[in-house]
Amino acid sequence: MTSLPRSASPLSSGACFVTGTDTGVGKTVVMAALAVCLRRRGMSVGVMKPVETGCAAGSAGPSDAERLRACLAGDDPGAFLNPYQFAAPFAPLAAARHARAVISLDRIVQAYGLLAARYRSVLVEGAGGLCVPLTDREDMRDLIERLALPVVLVGRCALGGVNHALLTLEALQTRKIPLLALVLNRPVPHQAASEEELQMASTVALLKERIGVPVIGPLPYLASLAGGGDAGVSELSRKPGIETLADLVSRDGP
């Protein structure tokens, strides 16, 4: 069993960094639902997407940062919420190079500090996976260490989910980054009593055997989430898995 350290630092109380085992696993939806759930409980909540790529003018649908802001009806300046936004749909370092820009972790940490001074809880969403490079020498793990936040890891229940989750957990363990929970998401619909459903159940069972932190989910697929509507986020925020995640994140109270 892989056991990762839990953070006892006051810095982690009510705050976390949401990352994923891969891109497209539903980090934004999970974090938005968590933020809405915490807000409904009376907690002061801010959100942050330090780096986002693929934000070219005319892109279909809102950006992740815009969706997160909308779910809380927030008015935080974009420079705090989303310090770096790039048009190219590449990994952060490649997108920055394409734009002839350089990502500064100091700038991100400063923006986080301004949000942390305003809110009891700040939820931060990564881009892509845990080892995605941000600069020539730093990756997403370096940013998490600088922010001193525990991690909520979002993974998928599909085939390959066990391997992706365990590799990401190993990368966290190598840096001694604390993990609050593994959240297994179901971003696409499936048929009941199907081979796919049996496979998902086996993924959940294996991961519960192998890691020493709560495994939440799989979260349900909700048709109301299609198209990025707020109604879907609100519906998901009331599901037992998100309520359990909110308990873990706010364990020290508002």
Q: What residues are annotated to the active site? A: 49
Alpha-carbon span 71 to 198, nearest angstrom: 33
Residue in the structure block whose two tokens are 């991961």 = 207
Residue in the structure block whose two tokens are 């997403």 = 140
Q: Is 49 left (phi over 0), alpha (psi -120 to 50) or beta?
A: beta
* Residue 8, number of CB atoms within 10 A of its CB: 10
Read off the amino acid at residue 5. Answer: P
Alpha-carbon span 36 to 45, nearest angstrom: 8
Alpha-carbon span 229 to 218, nearest angstrom: 21
Read off the amino acid at residue 137. Answer: R
Determine the distance from the C-alpha atom of residue 238 to the mean position of all C-alpha atoms in its chain, rounded to a whole number: 18
Beta bridge partners of 211: 2
